[in-house]
Every structure is written in structure tokens, then in C-alpha cells.
Amino acid sequence: MPIYEYECRKCGHKLEVFSRPGEEPMKECMVCHGPIKKVFHPAGIIFKGSGFYTTDYARSSSKKEKAGKKEDVKEKAV
């Protein structure tokens, strides 16, 4: 079961509740009976390994530019 965090708009009390996704969300603070709101937190996701943009889908123009610079250096050396 997921854990949802709520915060009271009246007294600022925070609480965590275990509830099923289909259940009705809480609407009232258990301390002061004021209105509460659901608190959302961003998920921390780190993409590692091959198959992600920075490793596999980088612009091919940057690779061409690097290859062109290496050819210029070889021509100057001759």
C-alpha cells in the first residue's frame, strides 16, 4: 500500500497515511479538524548506463566536428 503525506492548512500538522489507491483521500485534520491537502514530493531518479540520451543519443554533429578537427591537424602536419 502506498503512503500518502497530508498537511493541515489550518494548524500545519503533517501526517502520513497508508491507503489504497482507490480509497477516498482524507479531507480533515485529525488534530484540529481543519482542511488538509496532499503533499507531493518529486521522485529522485538517476539514469545510469547505456541506453540513455547522454550516452547513446547525443548529437552526431559534435562527433563530426571532432573528426573534422583531427583531419585539419593531420593536414597541417604534412
Amino acid type, 5? E
**Residue (of 27, 34, 26) closest to 10 by Cα position:** 34
Name the DSSP class of 31: T
Copy the grid coordinates of residue 21: 489507491
Determine the length of the chain.
Answer: 78
The domain ranges of the chain are: 3-39
Q: Render each residue's pLDDT in the chain as its tens digit; 78 residues.
A: 688 899 999 999 998 988 888 888 888 998 999 999 999 888 777 777 666 665 555 556 655 555 555 555 555 555
